[in-house]
Amino acid sequence: MLITPLFVLFNGIVFVLVLLFINTIDKRKWLTVLLSIVLTPLVFFYAFYPFINIFSNYHHQKYFKTEAWMEKPALRYEMSDHLMASDTLKNMSKKEVQQALGNYEWLGWNMDLKAHDNNIWNYSLGIEPGAFNSNKECLKIVFKNNKVVSINPFKEAVKFETED
C-alpha cells in the first residue's frame, strides 16, 4: 500500500473524529487514545473509504491492450485515458484500428451529407463507477484520407430498455 499525503491527512481526520467520539463515552485519556488508535483503521477502511469511493469518480487506470479491449467492453473506460494520451492510434489506417479495437459500434453522423459517415467511428467505453453517474463514456475516432486524425471522448445518456 502506498502512503500518500492524502492518505495520511484522511487518516488524521478520522483519528480525530474517532477520538472526539470516544471522548464523549469515557473521559479516561489513556483508554480514549488506545481505543482511537485501534478503531481508526477499522473506521477508515470500513466506513470512510467506501463512502469516499461512492461519491468520487475515481477509477483504475490501465494501459491499453487489444485483448483486454475485446474481452471486457464494459471496462474500456479504464484504458481510454492511456489510449488518448499515447500515440497508439495516431496515423493508423482504418484496417489497423479495426485490428486494434475491433469493428466500430456505430458510425458518426455527418450533418452536411445528412447520412452516416464512414470516417467517424464510435466505440462505447462502458459506465464509470459512481453514485450519481448516469452517462456512459464513448470514444469518437475521426479519419481523414484513411488515417486517424483525432480521438475524442464524449458522454452519452444511459438508456435502459423497459419491459412492456
Residue 164 lies in a domain: no
> 45 and 100 in one domain?
no
For position 158, what pLDDT does the model report? Answer: 81
Total residues found in the chain within this entry: 164
Mean per-residue pLDDT of the chain: 87
Residues 146, 149, 153, 159, Cα dihedral to 10°: -30
User: How does residue 86 score in pLDDT terms, banded at 50, 70 and 90?
Assistant: confident
User: How does residue 84 score in pLDDT terms, banded at 50, 70 and 90?
Assistant: confident
User: How does residue 74 score in pLDDT terms, banded at 50, 70 and 90?
Assistant: confident
| Residue entry with cell 491499453 | 64
> 36 and 17 in one domain?
yes
Give the global pTM.
0.66
Kindly state the average pLDDT of the residues 120-145.
Answer: 87
Exposure class string for 20-42: b at 16+ Cβ within 10 A, else e: eebbeeeeeeeebeebbeebbee
The count of domains in the chain is 2
Domain that holds residue 129: 66-157
Q: Which residues are paired to 154 by β-bridges? A: 138
> 74 and 51 in one domain?
no
Give the tens place of pLDDT for each residue, 16-71. Answer: 999 999 999 988 999 999 999 999 999 998 998 888 877 776 667 788 888 988 99
CA pair distance 91, 147, nearest whole angstrom: 5
Q: Are the C-beta atoms of residues 91 and 148 closer than 8 Å to each other?
A: yes
- Residue 60: closest CA among 8, 104, 126, 153: 126
User: How does residue 142 score in pLDDT terms, banded at 50, 70 and 90?
Assistant: very high
Kindly state the average pLDDT of the residues 97-108.
Answer: 90
